[in-house]
Structure 1
Amino acid sequence: MTTTRMPLMNTYHLTKVTKNYPLLLALFPLLLAFASQPAFAHSGATGSSRTSNVTLNNGSWRNILSIPVLLSNHTHYCTVVGSADARHVSGNTGNHQYTFGLSLDGAVPAAGVTRTVELNNNPGVDDPNVIEIGSTAFFTVPAGVHTFRWRARRSNGNGSAVVDDASMTINCFKKRLGFIILPPIPVPPVIENPAQ
C-alpha cells in the first residue's frame, strides 16, 4: 500500500499571487481595515437600566437615568429611547399627573418628547396601580462630552409616584438620513356598475 501526501497549500497559486500582485498582498490587511471603518467608526450604541426606586414627590425634574457619552471629532445624530414603570404610592387618593421626558445635558425636556400620565385612586374603583411610560427623542449633538437624561416629575396634586424599573438606550450616528421622496401612489380607478 502506497501513501500519497497531499500538499498543505497550493504553492503554485501562492507563488503566482506573491509574484504578480506583491503590493496588493502586502496591503490587503490595511485595505480590509479601511474598508470596514465606515460601518463602525462613527456609530455607537449604549444603554442602562435600573430597578432601584425613584420617588416623584414634587414638581422638580428628577433624573431616573443619566448616561454620559463622548462624541469625538464631529456632530452626531442620536436617537434616545426611555422606558419606565410608574407606580401609584399606596394611600394616594384622587388624580395625580406625572411627566416624563428625555433631555440632553441637563436641559428641561422639550414638550415634544415629554409624556404625561395620570394615576388615579378612586374610592370603590380598581384603578391601575402601575403604568408603563415610554418616550423617544432625536438629538443633533456636537462633538464633546454630553449626558443624556431620562427624567420625571410630579405635575400636579399632592400624591407621590414611584418609578420602579427604567431603561434608556442611545444610538448615535455620523450621518443623518436624507428625506426619501416616494412617487405618489395612484388611486385605483372607480369602476362603475353599468347595470345600475
Structure 2
Amino acid sequence: MTANFGPNPNKPYPMADQRRVCFIKNFIKSPLIIVGDYSYYDDPIDPENFEKNVLYNYGPDKLIIGKFCAIATNVKFIMNGANHKLDGISTYPFPIFGQGWETAMDKLIALPSRGDTVIGNDVWIGYESVIMPGVCIGDGAIIAAKSVVVSDVPAYTVFGGNPARKIKQRFSDSQIETLLKIRWWDWEIEKITRNIPIIMEGDIQALMKAE
C-alpha cells in the first residue's frame, strides 16, 4: 500500500472536485516569476492565468514567492516596470512613442527600482490586495483583503489598509524567532504530513519537538 503524503505539488489542480484552486508553479512561463511548492492561487474564473496579475513584468526584477502561500482572487503584483522617471519636470515617457521623441531615450535610463518583490513562506494574501514593487513580505505574514502594500511586512505580522499598516503581530518576538529557526515549510513532506495537526495549532513547543 502506497503512503499518502498529501497532494503532488507538480499536479496543477490539487483538489479533485474543482479547478478554482491551482498550484501556481505549474502554470508559470516567465523566468521572472519564481514560485515554491504548494503555493496556490484561488480564482473561480481563470486560476491558470496567474501571470496576468503580475503587472509591468519587464525585468530585470523578479517576483519570488515561497512555499505554502495562499493567494486570493485578483491579488495584483506591480513590478518596477511600472515606474516613471521622477527627477524631471514631466514624468511622461515621451521617448517610448518614437516618431521624433526617441531622441531623448537616454533620459529613460536608470528608472526608479526597488529590486525584487519577495513573498516569504506560509504567507496569506487576501482578496484583491495590491503588492507594490520591491516589497518584501515575511514568512507567516497575513495581508488583509483589498490592502495596498507599499512597505516591507515583518514575519508573522498582519497588515491591512491603504496604505497597509501593521494591525497586529501574530506571536511574540521570541516565538517568531523560534518559528523562523524551525522553518517547518522546509521539512520533508513526510514530516510535514505527520505533523499537520501541530502545524495548524498554536503550540510552538510541540512544533519544536515534532519528529
Between Structure 1 and Structure 2, the one with more helix by share is 2
Between Structure 1 and Structure 2, the one with more strand by share is 1
- For Structure 1 versus Structure 2, the TM-score category normalised by the shorter chain is under 0.3
Rg: which structure is higher? 1
TM-score by length of 2: 0.20
Highest RCO, 1 vs 2 (Cα 8 Å, sep ≥ 6): 1
